[in-house]
Amino acid sequence: MNRFTLLFFVVFFAISGFAQNNSDLIIKIGDHVILKDEFVHLYEKNNDHLIDESEKKTPKEYLDLFVNFKLKVYEAERLGYDTLPGFISELKSYRAELAKPYLTDVQHTKEMVKTAYQHMKTELNASHILIRLPEKPMPNDTLKAWNKTNEIIQKYENGESFESLAEKYSDDPSVRQNKGNLGYFSAFQMVYPFENAAYNLEVGEVSKPVRTKFGYHLIKLNKRRAAKGQIKVAHIMKRLAENSSEETIKHQKQEIDSIAAELKKGADFGELAKANSDDRRSASNEGQLSWFGSSGMMPEFADPAFALEHDGDISPVIRTPYGWHIIKRIEYRPVPEFEEIEAFLTDKIRKDPSISRHSDEIFINKLKQEYGFKEDNQIFGQLKKEIEPAFGNDHFKLLKLEKPGEVIFSFSDQQITSGDFWDYYLNNPDTEELTDFQLSIENKYQKFVEDRLLQYEDAHLEDNYPEFRYLIKEYHDGILLFNISEDKIWNAAAQDSVGLQAFYEKNKKKYFWGDRFQGWVIKCDNLEVRDFIDAVFEQDPDIQATGLRDQVTDHFGEGKAEIIYGYFEKGDDELVDNQVWNAPEPEDYNESLHFIRGNGIPPQPKTLEEAKGLYISDYQQFLEDNWLKELRKRYKIRVKRRVLKSIESIK
């Protein structure tokens, strides 16, 4: 039985074992039994942490979502998705990651939790120099990096600036842009050894070499400030590419200035964000972003956001590396009181082995105690005597020795023989040359004991930790749901051009363009340029935008006229709004030099190409709805309403 099959049966029997109590049965889908515990677990997980109270569902309201989810999972299993090598490999990989916190003894004392809280209340600005180490460094690699780090310290003490040393020696790729300055950070934003060392520095002080998984660091503390808490904002953004032209920058600035003017007149921020923001993900939610702290967002955005003093305040137009923004403060919350966040910090520390001050040895000793570990030192001593004569000579002499079979140690229901260790010893050679036999055999034996204990604990995590069992089940079902949805809905909608076209023909009036203007928006520097452009239009009414710009540039030089051609809706351009829809005149309007040329277009349906993303999304929903109807016919669904009513709603 392979590892995946074993995991499946562990989960299956762990769940099925409860099914003997019929009062726990809440839903039956086909032959699949679902217990109240599983339903409650997922119901609470999906509803407990919703910020928006209106999104929370009662158990009865959640039932259909849950059944639809399970129908898709059971169909994936029926079609054999759970037997595919890709699925098995992915689940195995996820399980290995999820198991890590359970296979390390993360002792989190009250002192550590309080220290983490103090770190959360303070933000540091620090620079560093990184001397990188390979992922699995050899002793020579470590020694070389250590010596180089100390040479840099000596240069700093001799008067060279930290910034210049960072530029010369740091292996951090970002050093070319930031000269080693990492900006502000707080608790849990850096690897723990780095964070701990930084918080123990005085402003201006440089640390001793600090070892992390990346290598050796020298850390200089630049500034220290009180954390500002977290803020929730909405924004309207006009995006700028990294190498945007001056014309594009100017145009986007005009666009955002126009929006700012509308806001000053009392326009609704959320509606303007929906209609105008280039950040389409947040635009669909009235421009709202997730909560962030002052060290969790680029300073160009965070600083003006935190400068807003009251909920509802709106910033002036600001510039970041990504474009122009207007920010509205939605809500602010300070750093929580310790009692409010103690449980979160405890859980955070427990799940991060690098934070723990306790070694893996403590965890191994804990396992030994739990599983009644016993070992026979006499047999191990005898084994060493047999192996030592061959050590350092021909490796094949070891292979010729007869494998002993006495029990060398035992725990729980396991009995490990000296022959098992011998196999391990032969198949796991040292990564470096060792001439000390005692060191080699002792190290290898301790590693063997640890591996066997950890393997046993790993294989029984589902039995020992119900929350882990649930988590693996969720990943199992989640991967199946994604894979079958990709085949049945997402890829099907994107690749079925005939079906999509037919769907569009039946629903083509769903997405409409409003009133639009098609044509030119032109702003000239002087009347001579205006007269020239009028003459060009008279000679060639159908001239292309690039042709008109080229003629004006050839005749007058760069920058004598701003020329834009395209389709404009209300709100896209102030001059078009004024000339076509009688909106107020722009502040810089000049009747003689600023004009439009083109035609109004009445409301009309968007073509499939113009609204393809929207129609694909709708078609996906159409396919999913039909698929679920088929599944509900295939699988008989029975719900114990009495059990459902016994579940309390999330408040």
Residue 202 has pLDDT above 90, yes or no: yes
311 CB-side CA count, 13 A = 7
**What tens digit of pLDDT does each residue of 484-530 get?**
999 999 888 888 999 999 999 999 999 999 999 999 999 999 999 99
Tokens encoding 185: 């950070």
Distance, in Å, from the CA atom of 200 to the CA atom of 187, rounded to the nearest integer, reads 13
pLDDT of residue 17: 36
Distance, in Å, from the CA atom of 441 to the CA atom of 425, rounded to the nearest integer, reads 8
486 CB-side CA count, 13 A = 7
pLDDT of residue 507: 94
Distances 80 to 75, 475, 491, 627 between C-alpha atoms, Å: 9, 17, 19, 18
Residue 104 burial (CB count, 10 A)? 20
Tokens encoding 147: 């010596």
Lowest-confidence segment of 125-129, 137-141, 242-246, 500-504 by average pLDDT: 137-141
Distance, in Å, from the CA atom of 636 to the CA atom of 71, rounded to the nearest integer, reads 10
Tokens encoding 623: 């396919």
What string of DSSP letters covers 253-272? HHHHHHHHHHHHTT--HHHH
Question: Helices (DSSP H) in 371-496: which residue ranges?
Answer: 377-387, 395-400, 418-427, 437-459, 461-464, 466-485, 491-495
Residue 432 has pLDDT above 60, yes or no: no
| Residue bearing tokens 């020694």 | 143
Where is pLDDT greater, at 2 or 173?
A: 173
Q: How many residues does the chain have?
A: 651
Q: Provide mean pLDDT across the span 15-25.
A: 49
Nearest alpha-carbon partner for 532 in 518, 546, 522:
522
Where is pLDDT greater, at 446 or 136?
A: 446
Q: Provide mean pLDDT across the span 214-224.
A: 95
CA dihedral 335, 338, 344, 348 (to 10 degrees): 90
Residue 229 has pLDDT above 50, yes or no: yes
3-state DSSP of 334-352: CCCCHHHHHHHHHHHHHCC
Judge residue 486's burial from the number of C-beta atoms within 10 Å of its C-beta, 0-12 exposed, 13-18 middle, 19 or more buried. Answer: exposed
Distance, in Å, from the CA atom of 621 to the CA atom of 628, rounded to the nearest integer, reads 10
What 8-state DSSP symbol labels residue 506?
A: H
Who's near 396: CB < 8 A, 6+ residues apart? none
The mean pLDDT of the chain is: 86
Q: Provide mean pLDDT across the span 304-316.
A: 94
224 forms beta bridges with 124
